[in-house]
Amino acid sequence: MKTKLMALTATGVLAVALAGCGGDGDAGEEGGPTVAIVQPAEGGTVAVPFTFEVDSSEDLGPTDTGNHHVHLYLDGDDSVYEVIESGNGEPIEITADSPILAGVADGEHTINVSLRNADHSAAGAEDEVAVVFGAAGSGSTGGSDGEEGTEDLYDY
């Protein structure tokens, strides 16, 4: 009798433990911070300067206030980035002076963002959009004089 009771108890404990591990796999992501690129749109054509807009579940602000901020970078290279301290519906103009645009050629690129804590450590949320840098065309989110060629990448 004692053996049956121990077996039933062990089975019950195992069932409870396994039930706690179940789920749809998204439980770790639920309730966590989010970040999304609003502008430019996926597949859009951009010319410099261009409008950048990000939306986050976290309040964004200057790092010295303890708020989160976003690192904006290109093509997955987060060693060169621009700190974005505002967002959540506030458009920002990215100009030719941005460090992320140094040496960028016309063509396809990926704009990446990473939500960061005030100390610049990753907060766990990222997003990216594929865009085409170059002469302004339909769907462009940047300024240009409308002429063809690489000189249109930067509209001073």
Residue 148 pLDDT: 39
What is the per-residue pLDDT across 99-108, written as a single tens digit (0 to 9) for each? 999 999 999 9
- pTM value is 0.69
Would you state the pLDDT for residue 96?
A: 94
pLDDT reported for residue 1: 55
How do residues 20-40 score in pLDDT, each as one tens digit? 333 332 233 567 999 999 999
pLDDT, tens only, 60-101: 999 999 999 999 999 999 999 999 998 888 999 999 999 999
How far is the C-alpha of 73 from the C-alpha of 83, rounded, in Å? 9
Strands (E), the chain: 35-39, 45-46, 50-56, 69-74, 82-84, 92-94, 107-116, 122-133
The Cα 115–Cα 22 span in angstroms is 29
pLDDT band (50, 70, 90) for residue 111: very high
What are the structural domain ranges in the chain?
Answer: 35-153
Give the CATH number of domain 35-153; options: 3.40.720.10, 2.60.40.10, 2.30.110.10, 2.40.340.10: 2.60.40.10
Q: What is the pLDDT of residue 14?
A: 38
